């Protein structure tokens, strides 16, 4: 079961500032970078599948989670030093074993199998397709950040060397179809750029809060919780994957509308439906044109029907109750997705954001209300055996 310690450990990535030895025109946060990395990884993995290669989506997702956890622990280790250690097999093993000891009490409630997969990941070869996709996405996201940062550091120390190094690292993955397409086709780069803009859309923007979280960082947090909850209910592989990417892309329309807080959406009868319809129109006009047509169906599930439980039967999408999806359609064949579970994860993420803001000194009545309101609604929530009250009770 997910516990408070893991929720707060994952949230530590929202405090971590990147490139903190350089002049930065905007704050660049680790949680946001990891979210952007997984957006890019999704695109690269889709392109690889279309090229006829087999990608284990669950393996890629879990590797992304493992690497985020490792990064949280070794936050102060400069990349040049990290890669020097990684080149030394013995020292790298010692480092990963130390990191695991630091994380063991936090991740052990997720089960022995999860912990074993965590340990095994850091001793696998770099040549596996899932690891190559994640590495390519990592360097592409880092270069995307650097292209913002170098404008504030023209001719600065190491700038030329960093640019050359990142260009070389991204180019080393040109055998991946997606990297070649991102270089060749502007529309695919535009999609990555557009998702990246969600790094600069602040949640709770009208409130003083530490740490500030972005829409994209929040989305990764929701994605990870959705995936971990999926493991707990023993969802099939496709269901786990769909739940993760629903979390990651569920707020994609906000790149077109900005973050409209729930009280505003509910303030006028019919306003929420109007906003939803507008989001759908803008997705059709501005987002789907950047994506291959074969991806549109999934993005409608992720971003338009994000909180509905759905399955695909005989090529048609159906909405089904939670118990039915679990008992009758828990098979990759039906492409199932737990929208209600993603909604629970979204609420829990908002609760943690409010809790952290209050703990860090905010006296905002809005945060106090949000924390109490979410807890009041979710305290009794159940989902296929998951008792969310136990999680919220950890915050007593």
pLDDT tens, 327-368?
999 999 999 999 999 999 999 999 999 999 999 999 999 999
Structure tokens at 83: 């890669």
Alpha carbons 84 and 323: distance in angstroms, whole number: 50
pLDDT at 127: 83
Q: Which of 8-12, 183-187, 274-278 has the lowest mean pLDDT?
A: 274-278
Q: Which CATH number fits domain 215-393: 1.10.3720.10, 1.10.3210.10, 3.40.630.30, 3.40.50.300?
A: 1.10.3210.10
Average pLDDT over residues 166-195: 95
Alpha helices in the chain (DSSP H): 4-11, 30-50, 57-73, 79-86, 89-107, 112-121, 129-149, 159-171, 177-184, 186-197, 215-232, 237-249, 254-257, 262-265, 271-282, 293-303, 322-328, 339-359, 365-378, 388-393
Percent of the chain beyond pLDDT 70? Answer: 96
pLDDT (0 to 100) of residue 256: 79
CA 132 centroid distance within chain = 18
Q: Is the pLDDT of residue 260 over 60?
A: no
Nearest to 152 by CA among 33, 17, 13, 21: 21
Calpha distance 84→91 (Å, rounded): 10
Where in the chain do CATH 1.10.3210.10 domains reside? 4-195, 215-393
Q: Which CATH number fits domain 4-195: 1.10.10.10, 2.40.110.10, 1.10.3210.10, 1.10.3720.10?
A: 1.10.3210.10
Q: Residue 309 belongs to what H/E stretch? A: strand 309-313
**Residues 6 or more apart whose Cβ sits within 8 Å of residue 50:** 177, 292, 294
- pLDDT, greater one: 302 or 124: 302
Beta-bridge partners for 387: 382
Q: Which residue has the tokens 């009208």?
A: 206
In this structure, are residues 170 and 140 in contact, taking their beta carbons and an 8 Å threshold? Answer: yes
| Confidence at residue 329, expressed as pLDDT on a 0 to 100 scale | 97
Secondary structure class of 387 (helix, strand, coil): strand
Over the stretch 101-110, which tens digit does the pLDDT of each residue have? 999 999 999 9
> What tens digit of pLDDT does each residue of 64-108 get?
999 999 999 998 787 888 888 988 889 999 999 999 999 999 999
d(CA 35, CA 141): 9
């Amino acid at each position: 079961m997910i516990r408070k310690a893991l929720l707060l450990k994952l949230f530590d990535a929202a405090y971590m500032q990147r490139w903190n030895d350089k002049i930065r025109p905007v704050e660049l946060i680790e949680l946001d970078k990891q979210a952007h990395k997984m957006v890019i990884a999704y695109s690269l993995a889709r392109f690889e599948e279309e090229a006829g290669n087999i990608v284990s989506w669950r393996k890629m997702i879990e590797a992304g989670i493992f690497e985020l956890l490792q990064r949280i622990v070794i936050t102060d280790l400069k990349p040049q030093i990290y890669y020097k250690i990684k080149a030394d097999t013995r020292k790298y093993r010692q480092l990963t074993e130390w990191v695991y000891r630091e994380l063991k009490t936090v991740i052990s409630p997720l089960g022995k199998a999860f912990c074993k997969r965590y340990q095994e990941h850091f001793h696998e070869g770099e040549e596996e397709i899932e690891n190559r996709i994640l590495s390519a996405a990592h360097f592409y996201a880092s270069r995307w950040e650097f292209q913002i940062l170098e404008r504030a550091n023209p001719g600065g120390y190491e700038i030329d060397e960093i640019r050359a190094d990142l260009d070389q690292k991204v180019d080393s993955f040109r055998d991946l179809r997606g990297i070649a397409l991102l270089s060749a086709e502007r529309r695919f780069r535009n999609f990555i750029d557009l998702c990246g803009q969600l790094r600069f859309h602040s949640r709770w923007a009208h409130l003083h809060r530490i740490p500030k979280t972005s829409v994209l960082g929040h989305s990764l947090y929701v994605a990870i919780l959705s995936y971990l909850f999926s493991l707990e209910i023993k969802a099939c592989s496709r269901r786990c994957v769909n739940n993760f990417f629903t979390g990651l892309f569920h707020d994609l329309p906000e790149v077109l509308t900005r973050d409209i807080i729930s009280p505003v959406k509910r303030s006028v009868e019919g306003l929420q439906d109007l906003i939803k319809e507008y989001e759908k129109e803008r997705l059709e006009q501005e987002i789907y044109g950047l994506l291959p047509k074969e991806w549109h169906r999934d993005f409608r599930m992720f971003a338009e029907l994000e909180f509905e439980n759905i399955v695909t039967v005989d090529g048609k999408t159906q909405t089904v109750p939670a118990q039915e999806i679990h008992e009758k359609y828990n098979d990759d064949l039906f492409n199932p997705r737990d929208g209600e579970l993603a909604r629970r994860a979204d609420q829990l993420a908002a609760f943690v954001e409010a809790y952290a803001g209050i703990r860090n000194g905010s006296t905002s009545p809005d945060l106090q209300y949000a924390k109490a309101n979410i807890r009041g609604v979710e305290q009794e929530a159940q989902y296929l055996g998951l008792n969310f009250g136990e999680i919220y009770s950890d915050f007593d």
